[in-house]
Amino acid sequence: MTDTIRFNLNENDIPKFWYNIAADHGLAPTPVLNPFTMEPVTPEFLGALFPMALIEQEVTRERYIAIPDEVREVYKLYRPTPLVRAKRLEKMLGTPAHIYYKYEGASPSGSHKLNTAIAQAYYNKISGTKALTTETGAGQWGSALSIACNFLEMDLEVYMVRVSYDAKPYRRILMQLNGAQVFASPSERTQSGRAILAEHPDSPGSLGIAISEAVEVAATSGGLKKYALGSVLNHVLLHQSVIGEEAIKQMDLADEYPDVVIGCVGGGSNFAGIAYPFLRENIVNGRTTRFVAVEPAATPSITRGKYAFDYGDTAKMAPIVKMFTLGSDFVPAPIHAGGLRYHGMAPSLSALCDAGMIDAVAVHQVPVFEAAQLFMNAEGVLPAPESSHAIRVAIDEALEAKQTGEKKVILFNLSGHGHFDLASYQSYLSGNLENYEYPEEVIRTISERLPKVNA
């Protein structure tokens, strides 16, 4: 090993293809259902929300999908992103483990979300779409899509979860500077939003509610608007595979290979982005890397949820998919500051977890913020609270290696910076953050709140 800390590629190394895990995982596909008929969705149903190119990417079993030149040209603004060995963190921990992180906070939006935002905006643009609708929680996805729509001269309507709309005004301002209209969700602009407000006037909102509003606007626009989302569906995870494809080349430059790959999970996009190309190496080439998906104890969809068919949104308008879920009526606790608030998990990631190919753990938010501060003090990078879930487990893995004396190679995805999350960090420094365990009595009711689907 050399003393090199950063392993950089040049723009010629930007991947030319997205990788599709469905070609290799060997698991039977599960149907996507129409929420109104409970029958498999038709292209016509999906066509009200997505352009045909993205529908095709959603269902294909092709291993590699060519990245359009126009998309790669925009990627050149920030890709390839750096791979960094966290030597100062290793020294601080006194561990024999080697810790690497892929830093997606180097993008113009400050997170990995731009990888799919550019692609989705591009495919909508060439299909004739004039405007997009979407939801956003902490604002990373809305920020990314607003940048992509600005680049491609498309209008954008964003429904931002109300608690984040109020707590993170700078994310909202960034979206507005890029020309997006941003509305606190639930809102009075949609039937689904008005129904929620009628029952819960002080609703803090949820991603499920915001999805309902964005889907409703697209579905009732007469084809004038399409819907875009930042996680969960296969085509979104597919676009994120550029992260792992670059990381494989960069680990080769480091002359090491990860024993464990770690990522935070809310819907699954950044984890899949770094993990799926390495998982391919396990399946196809006999590698033995372990994969750990890290979620909040406050929204424990994989570790405590049910693997079943469920609605993708609160108003039951989005397609029904099989996934780990807490129920589409889930509303995160207002005291939860760490992001990753979706009620479900990407179907492909859910299937891989169910098959035992990926491990999942849940962590509390106070230790997550402690890990974030430790990482910043060592490496000088303020991570997003979401990404800090992965840092927490990477540190735990390194401390375990310290106890056993094992020289372990750890790779995690630092999916975004935390510069817009200082209010959450202020709460942490003030001692106002609490650990929150999702109630067991609510977990026990998940099954009765799911749609009745004929298996």
**pLDDT tens across 280-325, in order?**
999 999 999 999 999 999 999 999 999 999 999 888 888 999 999 9
Architecture of the CATH domain 6-13+79-110+240-449: 3-Layer(aba) Sandwich (3.40)
pLDDT at 8 over 90: yes
For range 110-130, the mean pLDDT: 97
What is the pLDDT at residue 317?
A: 86
Mean pLDDT of the chain: 94
**pLDDT tens digits, residue range 321-335?**
999 999 999 888 877
Residues 6+ apart with CB under 8 A from 153: none
Helix or strand holding residue 115 (H, E): helix 114-126
Please state, in angstroms and rounded to a whole number, the distance separating the CA atoms of residues 338 and 384: 8
In the chain, where the domains are located:
6-13+79-110+240-449, 17-67+113-234
Residues 6+ apart with CB under 8 A from 273: 112, 115, 237, 240, 241, 242, 243, 244, 263, 413
pLDDT at 43 over 90: no
For range 156-179, the mean pLDDT: 93
41 touches 32 (CB < 8 A)? yes
Confidence of residue 340 (pLDDT cuts 50, 70, 90): confident
Please state, in angstroms and rounded to a whole number, the distance separating the CA atoms of residues 311 and 29: 18
**Which is nearest to 80 in space by CA: 100, 116, 106?**
106
Q: What is the 3-state secondary structure (H, E, C) of 30-50?
A: CCCECCCCCCECCHHHHHCCC
What is the pLDDT at residue 449?
A: 94
pLDDT at 2 over 60: no
Confidence of residue 244 (pLDDT cuts 50, 70, 90): very high
| Record: fold of 17-67+113-234 | Rossmann fold (3.40.50)
Q: What is the 3-state secondary structure (H, E, C) of 188-203?
A: CCCHHHHHHHHHCCCC
For range 335-344, the mean pLDDT: 82
What is the pLDDT at residue 138?
A: 81
**pLDDT tens digits, residue range 256-274?**
999 999 999 999 999 999 9
Q: Do domains 6-13+79-110+240-449 and 17-67+113-234 have the same CATH topology?
A: yes
What is the pLDDT at residue 1?
A: 46
Phi, psi (degrees; rounded to nearest 5) at 319: -55, 150
